[in-house]
Structure 1
């Protein structure tokens, strides 16, 4: 769960309010003291916390809220709105230039994930129909150029490099000429970083900025560094002028301080967040959705977008036809499972569904179980995958040996598959309006 510690404390505080029915001014103030402590423990800037609590209290202690039929829900609504406003209010998008190519400078300190972010941005733009050129302008960090070239190969996008002996300003200028010649509509410049901000770094970045006039300067910061990330953003903005922030490692044990403070302190929006190591693990930042996730309200819109990105529309159509004809096979089952896994971890996906996160508390989401399922199905013959009814005792032993699992594991999978087919049939019956006899029978074998 994102900001797990902060989210748990805030949700626990509001659960207490819900249990009270009618609220007094004292109840609200007591709850807001707990909210204040939770935010400070999450490393949110103390001035930001003070202003936030004052705003919430000003709105929440009014008669309109206290006399409401659902006062606790009204308080939560206010907190949600103020958190959203604190993180920027609305989504901030990339400013594409009127003329091609759009030039994006990616800056940041070493270790924040800058070069990987360049690759993630390029992959994201490619999915949107763009043709980005990646530029290796970090001539100091060992293997920085090679790392970018490897990323370029993985996403099948060109990388412009002039080696590590040329001036980064000359590299950036030559890259833009190259992009114009080859029809690349976006240029993403991977600039040098340092372990800390120094005059040499800033002078070089200012020189590149002056030479290529970027449409966007994106600062990459490590969200796990909390207030240090906010201080870095302030310094970069004062000395260079940034257009937005990319917060990396938000899937780690980040306490939340950076995400909840950075926009308020710097006045610059968070544009993207890194949610893992994979090259597609970069999400646009939506302040309203993030606030909802922190407060345990889920994030259905992001879940839908993830599904639209990962689930093949043609395959979905084929699957629908198979379900209608009751021809759903283990091959289809494996294919669907892999498409869901591409959306992220099971815990991450289920936490986006309102109300599910709390129910999962303490439940061990065994991702290894999915690996075992894949190994078992991969060890079957094509005939067995399509007609699992033929899998007898000797076949089960062979499949178990081939997949490094046990016969019990194979039996469990076959049982789960049978239950899934039954569930699919029940859902089909629901779609046809056949509600009779289904109440209480719907079972989801994997949750």
Structure 2
């Protein structure tokens, strides 16, 4: 495990690997959220391998890992049931000139798990699925505008969304003008938006739930608004899928969207995503209708047999082993421990755990109660020093009670340093470098 003293936590091989990454890969990672700018300076471990809830860096340090694969590895790394399913398919070939029988089996399994949908099409990443949903909504309604929930951080790498972020370089203004925003939880503001752009908005797209529960009647109210204004309701279930319930937030709250998108936990780290929804809409991308054809999803690797086998194994494991309930139980234990540790060190108002138990994040607040990247840096440094890799507190089912207890101990040690920085009203002496940075920012 890394040493307790952050100043002695040296990652020479990781630093060299990060330099190689930046020399060859723009941003030094294939997802901006994994960039070394998200970690304290010179403390961005490069991973060698993982098993269960633990990962090892190239320097030989072991960490208890949270937020595994940006929430995609919810069963833990190298899960045996998933690997067994994948290995069975690898020996049989992975991609053919015609659909494999695995495609229909995976579709049947998915629609049995998410019975609110009638058809499904698989892809490799969440952005392809959400963009396909938007294209389908525009085709079905004949309308150009997309309404996104302003309070949700990410929907797609494609222009219709990225143009709304500070990283909008390279996206035409005319594209940006076609995307409008509505606030989460505010039906009146959403209705005003729909009325202002009467007959122009093709869809409302949002995460059905985030760090707090939907206000009573909110999702049902959105369903009614979408119906009344003739637009398509899209639930982005990339995070809520499986973590809220096996059928996602729509299965938990009983509100059925027209279209929904799934990914992340669906493959336990293997590349698979899904667009699902009402047959009437999904068939616009098919061959059994008489209207204009919609180029919905057409991906060479979208139906790789081993990824679909992984998805089927994940769904079976969730149902048979009660994984969603376990995620919630582990998250509740962790949240309670972290809150007690923070309160015990006098920083309970500054290190704040938020979110559903299966999807916990934390906020780091300064002496004035304002969000602080400097204090986040301090906190992350101390966690890393104690062998905890935690850009969030999102749990996997592979965590043990001992892992949770160890994490809470490390958090308590971090909180003691946090208290010293608050008393000094200056975290700088504990940063040992530049602060971590937000993902979405205009300048490097």
Q: Look at both structures and tell me which one has the larger radius of gyration over its CA atoms.
A: 1
Which one has a larger percent helix, Structure 1 or Structure 2? 1
TM-score by length of 2: 0.30
Which one has a larger percent strand, Structure 1 or Structure 2? 2
TM-score by length of 1: 0.30
